Structure 1
Amino acid sequence: MAYNKPKPDDRSDNVEKLQEMVHNTIENMEEAEATMEFASEDERANIAAKNDRRRESIEGMRAEIKDEYRAQQNGFKTE
């Protein structure tokens, strides 16, 4: 029986990917804010709640960017 060998973990571009995700999330927030002007009260509440969740996600992504950057600087060596 043949076993699938997992691909090696390539973290070399994680910082760039995470930065792009942050940028896209911010753009989505801005677009959502722009639509609030034409939204009903319920829709505005939903948009505001979703943007709050997006802000939390951005905080997590920024923390992960810092971790990944440090890992890059250390040559991805684990301590």
Structure 2
Amino acid sequence: MSKPDNRKDNVAHLQNAVQDTIENYREAENYLNEYSDEISSSEKEQILQKNNRRKNSISSFREEIKDEANHQQD
């Protein structure tokens, strides 16, 4: 028998994911600022691409948080 869909803490989980992703984004930015002269151009590009994906994820998480918050109000 499957468990019922319990969405009560989805917003909290999503908010934690946003915070973690923002932290990772900032760490990568700091790393680039600190070591950009010492790393290869391909490594820089990989970090920049990953941070672009992180930005997209943050945006998606925030949209999902809005959806979940609206769902909980229903």
TM-score > 0.5, shorter chain as reference: yes
Look up the match of 1:64.
Answer: 64
Look up the match of 1:17.
Answer: 13
- Runs of at least 4 residues of structure 1 off by over 6 A? none
Question: 1:15 and 1:73 mapped to 2: Cα distance?
Answer: 12
Look up the match of 2:43.
Answer: 43
Normalized against structure 2, the TM-score is what?
0.89
Question: 2:2 and 2:59 mapped to 1: Cα distance?
Answer: 30
Q: Decide which structure has the larger Cα Rg and report it.
A: 1
Unpaired runs of 5+ residues, structure 1, are 75-79
Normalized against structure 1, the TM-score is what?
0.83
Percent identity, aligned pairs only, is: 50
Look up the match of 1:30.
Answer: 26
Q: Larger RCO: Structure 1 or Structure 2 (Cα < 8 Å, ≥ 6 residues apart)?
A: 2
Q: Deviations over 1:15-66 (max 9, x none)?
A: 0110010000000001111111313222111100000001111111100000
Q: How many residues align?
A: 70
Root mean square deviation, CA, Å: 0.9
